Amino acid sequence: MCQNERVPKVVDRETRRGQVAEAIHRIAARDGLEGVSVRLVAAEAGLSVGAVQREFASKDELLRFALAASVDEVFARFGRFRIGPEGLTFTEGLRQVLLDLLPTDERRRAQARIWAAFYARAAVDPGFADVLAELDVRTREHLRRAFEYAREQGGLAPGHDPAALAELLIVFVDGLWLTCARLPEDADLAPQQAAIESVVRAITG
């Protein structure tokens, strides 16, 4: 009777994993990845320690799942802005994506903090670095298409290598995102907005 896995249970598992990832994100946004313990995650998710243990074999797997969830969320956020003939112009899409990164509400601020924590972890743990490296690959692929479109439309700064501009953008986004993570809640975002305007102009010419 066990040769086919019970479907409803699988759904439960999936949703539960999501709950756990949410809990990790809440804790990490509050106390950093250092503050994430199995007991705390279980309590935050309203589960017992055992339940969390059954879902994830180790804490490492736990955190890796949370990182993957975060990556997907950020990628989905970027994907909301559609650049192309039937969507935004390249310049406007670029500007909106970058402005959307700014920590204008608590949700964004929390996400930036989580991101900073995972970045630090990736610096000393290849398993996490790989996840981010794969994100880089995906991002480059998307950017390549967007920049190709921009070039066709003549919306790219003349005399610049498009690939190099794309790399500039990737680095800039990382910096913007991580800078925002450490800004106080009531910080004036004007400098960052000015930097965004500058980078948009530098890329679109």
Cα–Cα distance between 89 and 37 in angstroms, integer?
A: 45
> Residue type at 101?
L
Q: Is 119 in the site for a copy of itself (CB under 8 A)?
A: yes
**Considering CB distances under 5 to 8 angstroms, the limit depending on partner class, which of a copy of itself, DNA, none binds residue 202?**
a copy of itself
Q: Which of residues 42-71 bind DNA (CB under 7 A)?
A: 47-51, 53-54, 58-60
40 binds, among DNA, a copy of itself, none (CB under 5 to 8 A by kind): DNA
Residue 137 makes contact with a copy of itself by CB under 8 A: no
Taking the least distance from each CB to a copy of itself, the nearer of 85 and 159 is 159
Rg (CA), the chain: 20
Q: How far is the CB of 202 from DNA (least distance, A)?
A: 43
Contact with a copy of itself (CB under 8 A) among 32, 89, 96, 139: 32
Q: What is the largest distance, in Å, between two alpha-carbon atoms of the chain?
A: 67
CB of 8 to a copy of itself, least distance (A): 38
Stretch that binds a copy of itself, among 9-17, 73-81, 88-96, 159-167 (CB under 8 A): 159-167
Amino acid at 130: D
Is residue 131 within 8 A of residue 64, CB to CB? The reply is yes
Tracing tokens 């066709």 back to the chain, one arrives at: 152
**3-state DSSP call for residue 83?**
strand
Q: Rounded distance, CA 154 to CA 121, Å?
A: 40
What region, left, alpha or beta, does residue 62 occupy, with left being phi > 0 and alpha being psi -120 to 50 degrees? alpha
**Is residue 156 near a copy of itself by the rule CB under 8 A?**
no
By beta-carbon proximity to DNA, the closer residue of 61 and 134 is 61
For a copy of itself, the binding residue among 38, 40, 88, 173 (CB under 8 A) is 173
* Torsion angle (degrees, nearest 10) of CA 66, 69, 70, 75: 160
Q: Nearest 10 degrees: CA dihedral of 171, 110, 32, 182?
A: 50
Query: Using CB under 8 A as the criterion, which residues of the chain lie in contact with a copy of itself when the complex forms?
Result: 29-35, 112-113, 116-117, 119-126, 128-129, 132-133, 157, 159-161, 163-165, 167-168, 170-176, 178-179, 181-184, 191-192, 194-195, 197-199, 201-203
